[in-house]
Structure 1
Amino acid sequence: MTFIRVEHEVALPDDLRVARAESAPHLGPRILFFSGGSALNGISRRLKHYTFNSMHLITPFDSGGSSQVLRRAFDIPAVGDLRSRLMALADETVLGQPDVYDLFSHRLPKGADNAVLRDEVAQMVDGKHPLLTAIAKPMRQLIRTQLARFAEEVTDDFDYRGASIGNLILAGGYLGNGRALEPVLFLMSKMVDVRGTVRAVVDENLQLGVDLRDGRRIIGQRHISGKETAAIDSPIARLFLSDGETELSPDAVPLPDRNRSLIEQAEVICYPPGSLYSSVVANLLPAGVGRAVAKQRVPKVYLPSLGRDPEALGHDLTDQIAAILAPMLHDAGPKTAPRDLVSHVLCDTSLPAEDCARVEQTHGIPCVRLPLAENGKERYDVDRVARVLVSLC
């Protein structure tokens, strides 16, 4: 069974290509994802069996959970989704490294007294906490340095309840490196031997905003996703970047050259499962993304979420693709065709054939139906998806 790619034509997985990748994942394909949240983490973990070279551009615009507490306290981009993907791609088998993984994944209890939690973090800064003493000394000192910088900046009223220690380490590293994410992401990747590249799509402390079809405007990811507040009750018409009060022009938020370079290296580009607007489309808003994607002559596939997505209220598959295309078409210019940005849609066979036909009629994008879901469940079989993506390279 072979994926046949002639000007983006696609058939079935190539078992030989997959076996080759599995035998030498350090030479594996460069698959680039525009994503955020946790929906891709299972696929990312499985993908480590086939490639150590996947690339993940992550939205830093989350405004919920412990990321929001850090954003308010330090005026920093959201780090939770970045930390989550680093952990999904970490090598959990290296001798001694699981202790670092455990620390970065540790979350303080939500129901504990805040003063007790503050003291627990102070123990970590001093290197006396069990999670720190379990880590070898050179690595332990690096981690303590990041936490110490966090402790220097934090105020006494900071809410530690539910905080991720990995997020606190990232925040400390951000503050200690001239308020830049890239150095601390690089350091954290080395600490847990990340099998891939994880970057924020832009290093900016911004908010997401949407215009709803009923004319209302909402600013703040947590109010859009429906996870911490009531779900939106009118379909989203448009997503934009905001300084927290007003809409920003896309030209005001350019894609960094280092991330443009990642797009240029990609052998496959994937718009993966996840909240349609806040996890996927959000990464396509910075100026230059559409132009960079359009230039690449590689498969560019949309893998739609299975099950209900509150952000996709009132959206069929054709509407979802239109939402992905909109910011990139605006950026790439009128001569760009939809298929220059999304070459294929990969769907599970549970999706009706007529939905696929409508996608092709509306956007001119082929829709390939494959058995990708776990049997009887509204979620993907992570190994099937990983193998399909590897086969596209």
Structure 2
Amino acid sequence: MTSITLTRDLHLPDDLRVARALSAPHLGPHLLFFSGGSALNGISRQLKRYTYNSIHLITPFDSGGSSQILREAFDMPAVGDLRSRLMALADESVLGQPDVYALFTHRLARDGLQDDLAAEVAEMRVGQHPLIRAVARPMRSLIQSLLQSFATKAPAAFDYRNASIGNLILAGGYLSNDRALEPVLFLMSKMVDVRGTVRAVIDANLQLGVDLEDGTRIIGQRLLSGKELAPITSPVARLFLSDGQDEIPAAQFPLPARNERFIARSDLICFPPGSLFSSVVANLLPSGVGRAIAARKVPKVYLPSLGEDPEALGLSLSDQVGALLAPLERDAGDGAELLTHVICDVSRSEAECEAASATHGIPCIRLSLTGDKLDRYDAQKVCDLLVSLA
């Protein structure tokens, strides 16, 4: 694989570029991320200081937590990761909409009684709850209408425990906009003044499936992630899209044209830290993603996760890079320029980086990217680096 040559020194962030972004974030670079989950949220909160133009293509295939309750009730894509990223990029200052932010990030009690929890949502719907009363009109009326759309179609036995109010509002918007995510994501972005763009990589109610090396087939993200259930005991051999029963060819679910346009105007493409398969590789499965990435001649950076990732069981850094490239190469063909750099923290051994570089023909660079917590990237260091490269 041929990689582009970067003229900037990766060992030292470009102070001028960083200073320019910090002074005028509305003119900041278009950094595009393929991600999901919460691993990138800390970096996203820092990123909005540098640019209001970041683009986040998020997996809608989560099958755990309150997102799964909504999926089962309404036959809809998962919205939890989308809501989480919207909130990470929201303007939390007094100049934004802090009352709306508080409402969207509120969760119902995990161990509350169903009748009590349903009554709390009903109070919000009719404008009596303190959180909804704190929101100024006309936004309050709009939110109430979205909650009403949710309530009208919610099954009588809907499980409200630990439900995110933001997720319920997104579900109401999805249901009231002809079962489409983009209109309600756009609306919520405006409500909390999101400093970037957040979209589902595709708007489809699908599951993730994996074949493990021991021959086991698993359908459902929650069975793979090792967070709610026991982790996998055999390495992942292949990831695919599923209808919940069988594998679905990627060609049946092409990358939407609007997301292709986002990729086409990106200044940098980042495959960020997060659960390797369910948060990162999952976004690369739809048809057309690889071709769109190959067509854009910008830096394309992989930042592998720090710490333990149950999904990457038994995989070396080189194996992880291979897993990232596999769906892209199936889509774009061999020889396409899909990744230009792997950037690791210095905690990753030099030998492992050299092996990954030798196997895939991609520069693998070790930098000091952590702070006090060695299992997490320092958000400012990562932002400085990415802005310098863009």
Tell me the TM-score normalised to structure 1 length. Answer: 0.97
The CA distance in 1 between the partners of 2:94 and 2:234, in whole Å, is 48
Aligned positions of 1:10-25 closer than 5 A: 10-11=9-10, 12-25=12-25
Aligned positions of 1:80-229 closer than 5 A: 80-95=80-95, 97-229=97-229
Partner of 1:7: 5
1:350 CA drift (Å):
0.9
**Which amino acid is the alignment partner of residue 179 of structure 2?**
R
The CA distance in 2 between the partners of 1:184 and 1:192, in whole Å, is 12
Partner of 2:77: 77
SS in 2 for 1:137: coil
1:96 CA drift (Å):
6.2
1:364 corresponds to which of 361, 364, 379: 361
Residues 1:39 and 2:39 aligned together? yes
- After superposition, give the CA deviation of every residue in 1:189-212 in whole Å (9 maximum; x if it has no partner): 000000000000000000000000
The CA distance in 2 between the partners of 1:139 and 1:378, in whole Å, is 40
Q: Is the 8 A contact 1:8 1:343 kept in 2?
A: no
The CA distance in 2 between the partners of 1:202 and 1:130, in whole Å, is 36
- After superposition, give the CA deviation of every residue in 1:172-221 in whole Å (9 maximum; x if it has no partner): 00000000000000000000000000000000000000000000100000
1:8 CA drift (Å):
3.5
C-alpha distance 36-96 of structure 1, shift in aligned 2 (>3 A):
closer
C-alpha distance 322-94 of structure 1, shift in aligned 2 (>3 A):
same
C-alpha distance 130-376 of structure 1, shift in aligned 2 (>3 A):
closer
The CA distance in 1 between the partners of 2:4 and 2:284, in whole Å, is 26
The CA distance in 2 between the partners of 1:149 and 1:376, in whole Å, is 43
Residues 1:55 and 2:55 aligned together? yes
The CA distance in 2 between the partners of 1:220 and 1:246, in whole Å, is 11
Residues 1:373 and 2:370 aligned together? yes
The CA distance in 1 between the partners of 2:356 and 2:4, in whole Å, is 20
The CA distance in 1 between the partners of 2:120 and 2:95, in whole Å, is 26
- After superposition, give the CA deviation of every residue in 1:112-136 in whole Å (9 maximum; x if it has no partner): 1000000110111101110000000
Partner of 2:238: 238
Partner of 1:310: 310
1:334 CA drift (Å):
2.9
Q: Which runs of 5+ in 2 are unaligned?
A: none
Q: Is the 8 A contact 1:32 1:54 kept in 2?
A: yes
**Which amino acid is the alignment partner of residue 385 of structure 1?**
V
SS in 1 for 2:138: helix
The CA distance in 2 between the partners of 1:363 and 1:17, in whole Å, is 30
The CA distance in 1 between the partners of 2:98 and 2:305, in whole Å, is 31
The CA distance in 2 between the partners of 1:297 and 1:255, in whole Å, is 19
Partner of 1:349: 346
**Which amino acid is the alignment partner of residue 319 of structure 1?**
D
Q: Is the 8 A contact 2:87 2:101 kept in 1?
A: yes
Q: Is the 8 A contact 1:96 1:135 kept in 2?
A: no
**Which amino acid is the alignment partner of residue 182 of structure 2?**
E
Partner of 1:269: 269
The CA distance in 2 between the partners of 1:379 and 1:322, in whole Å, is 23
The CA distance in 2 between the partners of 1:157 and 1:29, in whole Å, is 46
1:378 CA drift (Å):
1.2
**Which amino acid is the alignment partner of residue 293 of structure 1?**
I
Q: Is the 8 A contact 1:96 1:136 kept in 2?
A: no
1:139 CA drift (Å):
0.7
Q: Is the 8 A contact 2:4 2:299 kept in 1?
A: no
1:359 CA drift (Å):
1.1
The CA distance in 2 between the partners of 1:356 and 1:335, in whole Å, is 21
CA-atom RMSD, angstroms? 1.1
Aligned-residue sequence identity (percent) comes to: 66
**Which amino acid is the alignment partner of residue 376 of structure 2?**
R
**Which amino acid is the alignment partner of residue 272 of structure 1?**
P
Q: Is the 8 A contact 2:201 2:283 kept in 1?
A: yes
Partner of 2:291: 291
SS in 2 for 1:56: strand
Tell me the TM-score normalised to structure 2 length. Answer: 0.98
- After superposition, give the CA deviation of every residue in 1:278-300 in whole Å (9 maximum; x if it has no partner): 00000000000000000111000
Higher RCO structure, 1 or 2 (CA under 8 Å, sep 6+): 2
SS in 2 for 1:368: strand
- After superposition, give the CA deviation of every residue in 1:70-90 in whole Å (9 maximum; x if it has no partner): 000000000000000000000
Residues 1:387 and 2:384 aligned together? yes
Q: Which runs of 5+ in 1 are unaligned?
A: none
SS in 2 for 1:62: coil
C-alpha distance 324-96 of structure 1, shift in aligned 2 (>3 A):
closer
Q: Is the 8 A contact 1:240 1:247 kept in 2?
A: yes
